[in-house]
């Protein structure tokens, strides 16, 4: 008996859809590899440097804690420049912007590897950040424009996996390079990868741009950049043994004034670099402020653990890097549970409870010492990584829950900016706390300072739970029609 026309039509439609999906993947396979490589390179560079901090400090005749500027300058540059990425794509085209970003990242990496002093390294890291700021936003934007919606989730999962792989390999590779070769290779390995990326960009990157791009909010961008840079500069003054209170206070006051000036300006321009009217949506301001507080408490933990293991416990760079791998593995493991936990508990209860658990796990690090078994440290790092992986995933999706889709691009830019801005200040705060608690130069002094620092960071993280408690008990709140 022949199949009914309805069944035949449905089968044919399904077959055509499957063919279209495969064609979409095959057509853009080179693009997917290019964006995946960019995600991998940036994730690798964000984690590989931490393991090498003691070795770099020794080579440049600096203390390990003084190296914070080499870490914060890169992340702060990402935070400042990410909001400009959408306008640059609309004005100059995705292929040109992505190619220039890769080239700038490569030049910055080369100069990092050739640096002879800390100021030279900081300037090179800023240049590196100028290139890195466009890699992830432009890559995501191009995939959204190019990949079929039915295939987009799977493609983004593939790309994100490469980013996680970079996070896993970064600490281990950093330890290997520092112990067996030179810390300079940590930066120099980006150069050949970037050359391949520029070749792929020329071949595979589609050209998307708008003929009539909106005018860039240059004045607002400069106000925001000035406020952020001045706050970070003030933290450098706070690190001096003889704190120059007048200079530091002046920088803080100027940063606050620039911040208020941006708030005033953003309300009077049609296309601000960061649209603060979105904060009228409760889930948006809770997501941004909770993200900011959480990352203030946790962003410096990676560096602190590395310093604790290498300086306080006398571990080799390789072993310290190897001990960071469980954190990434824990983060990957937790991602399988996120959807199930959200369905059962919702954003409000899950974020409130998980933030407190993260704070408790940070405080648990205060119990560690040179005599603590390696397996116990690895277990604690894995557990901490698992809860942090869940925290990051839930926080990063919260901002979109009650927001109209037409505001998703601006919300994504604001979320990324807040993320990197809080990371830079979190690293600065963690190192300043270590320096304040550090009395003496021996390994025991580092262990004691580490213990007190993580206790303070645990308290800061716990405060973020009160922010997440402000979420509505109902799963949704209406978004404003004109934010």
List, for residues 413-463, the tens digit of each pLDDT value. Answer: 788 788 888 888 888 888 889 888 988 777 888 899 999 999 999 999 999
Q: Does 187 map to a domain? A: yes
* 311 and 231 inside one domain: no
For 254, the domain range is 217-272
Torsion of CA 436, 442, 444, 446, to 10 degrees: 40
Phi first, then psi: give them for residue 182, nearest 5 degrees: -145, 150
The encoded tokens of residue 357 equal 């658990």
pLDDT of residue 238: 63
Whether residue 34 is found in the same domain as residue 84: yes
Q: Do residue 126 and residue 229 come from a single domain?
A: no
* pLDDT for position 244: 67
Q: pTM of the full predicted structure?
A: 0.77
pLDDT at residue 77, as a whole number? 86
**171/248 same-domain check:** no
| 341 plus 468 within the same structural domain | yes
pLDDT tens for the 483 residues of the chain, in order: 444 444 444 443 444 344 444 445 566 788 888 888 888 887 777 777 878 888 888 889 988 878 878 888 888 888 888 888 878 887 888 889 999 999 999 999 999 999 999 999 999 999 998 998 888 778 877 887 777 766 766 777 677 777 777 777 787 888 888 888 888 988 898 899 889 888 988 888 888 877 655 678 888 888 888 888 888 777 766 655 566 677 778 888 998 999 899 889 888 887 788 888 888 888 888 888 998 899 889 988 888 898 899 888 888 888 888 888 888 788 878 877 877 888 888 888 999 999 999 999 999 999 998 999 999 999 999 999 889 888 887 887 787 777 776 676 677 778 878 888 888 888 888 888 988 898 877 788 889 999 999 999 999 999 999 999 888 765 443 333 333
Residues 259 and 400 in one domain: no
Nearest one of 464, 297, 323 to 395, comparing CA atoms: 464
Q: Is residue 296 part of a domain?
A: yes
List CB contacts of 133: < 8 A, sequence separation 6 or more.
Answer: 77, 78, 80, 81, 82, 84, 85, 101
In a domain? residue 354: yes
C-alpha–C-alpha distance, residues 352 and 468, integer Å? 6
The CA distance from 362 to 297, in Å, is: 9
Render pLDDT for 187-232 as a digit per residue (tens, 0 to 9): 898 899 889 888 988 888 888 877 655 678 888 888 888 888 888 7
* Per-residue exposure over 65-91, b if at least 16 CB sit within 10 Å of its own CB, e if not: bbbbbbbbbbbbbbbbbbbbbbbbbbb
Q: Which of 244, 272, 300 is the last residue of a domain?
A: 272
* Among 423, 358, 418, CA closest to 388: 358
**Does 291 share its domain with 308?**
yes
Alpha helices in 82-148 (DSSP H): 85-92, 94-114, 118-146
Q: Whose structure tokens read 């983004």?
A: 156
Domain boundary among 160, 184, 211: 211
Phi, psi dihedral angles at 352 (to 5 degrees) = -60, -50
Spatial distance between the Cα atoms of 321 and 50, rounded to a whole number of angstroms: 9
Q: Are residues 150 and 43 in the same domain?
A: yes
> Which residues are CB-contacts of 296 (< 8 A; sequence separation ≥ 6)?
422, 425, 426, 429, 460, 461
Structural element, H or E, at residue 450: helix 443-468
Same domain, 113 and 55: yes
Instruction: Quote the CA–CA distance of 239 and 433 in Å, as a whole number.
Output: 9
Q: Domain check: are 421 and 462 in the same one?
A: yes
Contact, 287 vs 395, CB < 8 A?
Answer: yes
Structure tokens at 318: 């390789």
> What's the CATH number where 421 sits?
1.20.1250.20
Q: What are phi and psi of 132, to 5 degrees?
A: -65, -25
Phi and psi for 108 in degrees, rounded to 5?
A: -60, -40
Predicted confidence (pLDDT) per residue in 9-36, tens digit? 444 344 434 444 444 556 678 888 888 8
d(CA 384, CA 300): 14
CB contact set of 400 (below 8 Å; sequence gap of 6+): 408, 411
pLDDT of residue 251: 82
Angle between helices 245-266 and 218-238 (to 10 degrees): 160
pLDDT confidence of residue 240: 59
Query: Which of the listed residues 272, 293, 317 is the one where a domain comes to its end?
Result: 272
Structural contact between residues 380 and 361, judged by C-beta atoms closer than 8 angstroms: yes
Identify whether residues 259 and 142 lie together within a single domain.
no
DSSP 8-state secondary structure symbol assigned to residue 311: I
What stretches of 181-244 show up as alpha helix (H) in DSSP? Answer: 185-188, 190-204, 218-238
Residue 87 included in any domain? yes
The answer to whether residues 152 and 222 belong to one domain is no
Residue 1 lies in a domain: no
- Does 3 reside within a domain? no
CA end-to-end distance (rounded Å), the chain: 60
> Do the domain assignments include residue 7?
no
Q: 């399988």: which residue's tokens?
A: 336
**DSSP secondary structure string for all residues of 348-380:** HHHHHHHHHHHHHHHHHGGG--TTS-HHHHHHH
Number of other CB atoms surrounding residue 479 within 10 Å: 18
CA angle in degrees (0–180, nearest 5) for 140-141-147 = 80
- Kindly report the length of the chain: 483
Domain count, the chain: 3
């Amino acid at each position: 008996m022949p199949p009914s026309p309805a069944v035949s039509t449905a089968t044919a439609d399904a077959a055509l859809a499957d063919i279209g999906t495969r064609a979409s993947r095959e057509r853009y396979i080179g693009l997917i590899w290019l964006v995946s490589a960019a995600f991998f390179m940036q994730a690798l560079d964000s984690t590989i440097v931490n393991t090498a901090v003691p070795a770099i400090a020794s080579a440049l005749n600096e203390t390990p804690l003084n190296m914070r500027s080499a870490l914060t300058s890169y992340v702060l540059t990402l935070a400042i420049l990410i909001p400009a990425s959408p306008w640059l794509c609309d004005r100059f085209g995705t292929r040109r912007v992505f190619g220039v970003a890769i080239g700038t990242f490569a030049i910055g990496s080369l100069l990092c590897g050739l640096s002879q002093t800390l100021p030279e390294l900081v300037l090179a890291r800023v240049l590196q950040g100028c290139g890195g700021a466009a890699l992830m936003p432009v890559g995501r934007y191009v995939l959204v424009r190019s990949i079929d919606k039915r295939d987009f989730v799977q493609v983004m999962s593939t790309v994100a996996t490469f980013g996680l792989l970079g996070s896993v390999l970064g600490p281990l590779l950093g330890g290997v390079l520092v112990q067996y070769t030179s810390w300079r290779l940590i930066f120099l390995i980006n150069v050949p990868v970037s050359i391949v990326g520029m070749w792929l960009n020329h071949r595979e990157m589609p050209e998307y741009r708008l003929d009539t791009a909106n005018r860039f909010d240059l004045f607002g961008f400069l106000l925001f950049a000035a406020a952020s840079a001045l706050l970070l500069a003030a933290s450098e003054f706070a690190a001096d043994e003889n704190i120059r209170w007048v200079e530091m206070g002046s920088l803080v006051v100027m940063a606050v004034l620039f911040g208020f000036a941006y708030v005033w300006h953003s309300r009077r321009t049609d296309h601000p670099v960061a649209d603060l009217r979105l904060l009228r949506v409760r889930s948006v301001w809770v997501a941004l402020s909770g993200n900011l507080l959480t990352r203030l408490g946790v962003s410096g933990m990676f560096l602190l653990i590395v310093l604790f293991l290498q300086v306080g416990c006398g571990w080799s760079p390789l072993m310290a890097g190897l001990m960071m791998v469980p954190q990434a593995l824990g983060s990957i493991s937790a991602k399988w549970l996120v959807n199930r936990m959200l369905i059962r508990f919702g954003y409000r209860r899950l974020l409130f409870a998980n933030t407190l658990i993260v704070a408790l796990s940070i405080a648990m690090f205060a119990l560690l010492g040179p005599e603590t078994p390696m397996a116990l440290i690895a277990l604690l790092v894995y557990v901490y990584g698992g809860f942090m992986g869940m925290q990051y995933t839930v926080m990063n999706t919260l901002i979109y829950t009650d927001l109209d889709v037409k505001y998703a691009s601006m919300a994504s830019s604001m979320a990324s900016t807040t993320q990197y801005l809080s990371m830079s200040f979190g690293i600065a705060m963690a190192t300043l706390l270590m320096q304040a608690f550090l009395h003496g130069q021996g390994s025991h002094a580092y262990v004691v300072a580490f213990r007190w620092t993580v206790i303070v960071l645990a308290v800061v993280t716990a405060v973020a739970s009160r922010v997440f408690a402000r979420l509505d008990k109902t799963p949704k709140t209406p978004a404003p029609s004109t934010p």
